[in-house]
Structure 1
Amino acid sequence: MKYQARKNALILLVDGTIFYGKAVGSKEGSAFGEVCFNTGMTGYQEIFTDPSYFGQLMVTTNAHIGNYGVNDEEVESDGVKIAGLICRNFSYQASRPDSDGTLEDFLSQNNLLAISDVDTRALVSYIRDNGAMNAVITTDVDNLEVLKKQLADIPDMNGLELASKVSTKEPYFYGDENASYKISALDIGIKKNILRNLAKRDCYVKVFPYNTSFTEMQSFEPDGYFLSNGPGDPEPLTQAIATTKEILETGKPLFGICLGHQVLALANGISTYKMHHGHRGINHPIMNLMTGKGEITSQNHGFAINKEEAEAHADVEITHVHLNDQTAAGIRMKSKPVFSVQYHPEASPGPHDASYLFDDFITNIKNSK
């Protein structure tokens, strides 16, 4: 019955290209954002709630989405962060025994527009050829001219500051206050599983808003500092970059992930750039140049650091390289216990090949105490 009642829907790209589909559930209207794709075969709930995806229309390349429902433990923030969902086949039933509900209900509760029955292979191929771009998904299929005008007014992701949209408004604590190590974490879009990984390693974390000063972060008297993942362009994060520069002057351990990795690079005078279509999936191959070992990693980013500038920097060493395109995927400072990676060692979803990076961070803290 739901299938028969579904409304016609479409995806309109900013260059005028159209892909057709059907609305999922009863949700109607339009959703705007940058269209991108994720190649993960599982973990859709974690992807949809990852703050790094804020403002993006997510295309899932896996043919079936929703088939195992949702679970209350598998969220990475306080709600859905993507702007809209585009998929091939949407499953209205949840087959997993420990499911807490269907994906349809979850999306409805979060007021998210989703469309299915889309030729996602063709759409992904188009993005790969032409790059990630702004788009609108809509059930208002008869008002294309109005939608084109509205779409033209949507700001481009390049130069867009989004960390303020997802960061905590007030500082909060995570973990056991009697833990061995204290961490000051800058929330520019932090995932819950990062906090879980730190707490599991005997850390008590104080999480600060994106525009927190160094003085305030230092007042917690931490043993180490952390720069989180997050959405948008890193260059507009002037306060975060300034705070990071002051952290570096302390000589204390610092660990950055994803957007935090880019902020660390900018704090060292290394520029960043918007990628053609980014890296988003849970099977990306990385080479650890320090050990010579390969890693299969979880990634989701549309910006990267300038590899040539990192190689030329006197106090920075590239530690990890993405094997698909040779982009810089990790750096460390030669004179300080400071390092960062472009990918997600906390996974969720994804493999745990890179979880050792949290252990390396703790080792740096131990050696610095």
Structure 2
Amino acid sequence: MILSERIAAFSKLSKFLNQFTHPDYTRDESVLLNHNFFDKMTELIHAASHHNGWFTPDNVIFSLSQWSKALQKEQLTNWISAYKLEEKPPKKIGLILAGNIPLVGFHDFLSVLISGNDAIIKLSSDDTKLLPFLASYLIAVEPRFKEKISFTEEKLQSFDAIIATGSNNTARYFEHYFNKVPNIIRKNRNSVAILTGKETPEQLNALGEDIFRYFGLGCRSVSKLFVPEGYDFDTFFKATFQYNDIINGAKYANNYDYNKAVYLMSNYTLLENGFLMLKEDSSYSSPIATLFYEKYKSLEELDKKLTADQDKIQCIVSAYLDKKHIAFGQTQSPQLDDYADGVDVIEFLIKIQ
């Protein structure tokens, strides 16, 4: 396959996924092989939460919607045209994927295949259904992908490079085990938001999407607020109250109750509204149903702190205090060139000898 053929195959997957961008799925009879895949996809969306309680239909549909947009032919072409790809013998790239949010490893999967390489994939036990199903559709519309995609439950073997995503603890194992091949080893990262007190209710409402989407489990989920001294949290709570339905999820509610009990027994001071707790803390990674916050004296001092801690941070959300910051409500809608940990995967793949 040449690049244009690979792009064409993924764009067909985009059209397939476009049917599942809203809860009332819209069947498009012009979609290739719909008679084999449409009903199975609807079943999979609703079955996902039985395997992983965090994978609610709403969150799975949101993920599918984002990938439907990203995989359009124009988007793919614009993204990949920034690189000097050469058609050369493929490398075997091992992918060790996380499972914290639906299809969290799809970007690595896409990057390996769109660049002409082969993917050997070890899935997280928390997400074993979605990617294999989308891979099966991709193979059905472009059979030559069959030899380029494989899944394994065993230790990865016979690979030329590794892309592995895990925690800080597993990263140490990955770095030791894969140190003899080119690798990208991802560790824990979190996202933060900078508030100044001048944000509009609409901006703070949009921030709720960054906080609550995927129950806050993604590295692009805002887990901490930086606020000026004397910040009025009532404004924040009012603007984000519409997300209160999240407490109706049993797993989220259990975490809320458990963490609240732990905090109260430890005599921590909390601000809370019945579905979210705010705790003053210098850490970046907050537990489920909790949002840490830290006060700053000046934006200049805060900028220095965030620069020093950049290896711990995935996204910074603000009202465009910096051109690298992300607008409120946009962390869960990354572009194709928004690479995890800021490591350009395509450039990495190109340089593999």
Same topology, TM > 0.5: no
Higher strand share: 1
- TM-score if structure 2 supplies the norm length? 0.29
- TM-score if structure 1 supplies the norm length? 0.28
Higher helix share: 2
